[in-house]
Amino acid sequence: MKRESILVIGANGQIGTALLPLLRTQFGQSHVIATDLRQPQSDQGLFELLDATKPDALTDVVRRYRITQIYHLAAVLSAKGESDPIWAWNLNMQTVLNVLEVARLHKVKKVFIPSSIAAFGEHAPKYDTPQMAFLDPATVYGISKVATENWSMYYHKRYGLDVRSLRYPGVISYQSMPGGGTTDYAVSIYHEAVQGHNFECFLSADTLLPMIYMDDALRATLELMDAPEANISVRTSYNLAGMSFTPAELTKAIQVHFPDFVTEYKPDFRQAIADSWPKTIDDSVAQQDWGWKPAFDLPRMTQEMITNLTPVYQPLVSTL
* Band of residue 124 on the pLDDT scale cut at 50, 70, 90: very high
Looking at residues 6-30, what average pLDDT do you find? 95
Over its C-alpha atoms, the chain yields an Rg (Å, rounded) of: 19
What is the structure's pLDDT at 80?
84
| 291 neighbors 222 (Cβ within 8 angstroms) | no
pLDDT of res. 289: 98
Output the CA angle 188-194-195, nearest 5 degrees: 90
State the CB neighbour count (10 A cutoff) for residue 284: 14
pLDDT tens digits for range 254-302: 999 999 999 999 999 999 999 999 999 999 999 999 999 999 999 999 9
Higher-pLDDT residue of 211, 315: 211
- Smallest CA-to-CA distance from 133 within 216, 230, 236, 224 is with 236
Task: Give the pLDDT confidence score for residue 156 in this predicted structure.
Answer: 98
Query: Which pLDDT value is given to residue 257?
Result: 97
Mean pLDDT across the chain, nearest whole number?
94
User: Pairing between strand 170-172 and 110-112?
Assistant: unpaired
Cβ atoms within 10 Å of 254's Cβ, excluding its own: 22
Q: What is the pLDDT of residues 140-181, one digit of tens each?
A: 999 999 999 999 999 999 999 999 999 999 999 998 787 778
Q: Do 242 and 288 form a contact (C-beta atoms < 8 A)? A: no
22 touches 215 (CB < 8 A)? no
* Helical segments of the chain, H only: 14-27, 55-64, 78-81, 85-105, 140-159, 185-194, 214-226, 247-255, 270-275, 284-290, 298-319
What pLDDT is attached to residue 161? Answer: 98
State the catalytic residues.
Answer: 141
| 54-91 per-position pLDDT tens digit | 999 999 999 999 999 999 999 987 788 898 999 999 99
Question: What mean pLDDT is predicted for residues 78-105?
Answer: 94
Is 63 exposed, middle or buried, given 0-12, 13-18 or 19+ CB atoms closer than 10 A?
Answer: exposed
pLDDT over 70 (residue 35): yes
So what's the pLDDT on residue 320?
Answer: 46
- Measured in degrees and rounded to the nearest 5, phi and psi for residue 8 equal -110, 115
Do residues 227 and 290 touch, judged by C-beta distance below 8 A?
yes
Instruction: Look at residue 317 and tell me whether its pLDDT is greater than 80.
Output: no
pLDDT at position 316 is 52
* pLDDT of 24 strictly over 90: yes
What is the pLDDT confidence band of residue 125, given thresholds at 50, 70 and 90?
very high
Sign of the Cα torsion 293, 92, 56, 102 reads positive
pLDDT of 318: 46
> Residue 49 forms beta bridges with which residues?
36
Query: Burial level of 305, CB count in 10 A (0-12/13-18/19+)?
Result: buried
pTM of the model: 0.93
Task: Reduce the secondary structure of 122-184 to three states and give it as a string.
Answer: CCCCCCCECCCCCCCECCHHHHHHHHHHHHHHHHHHHHCCCEECEEECEEECCCCCCCCCHHH
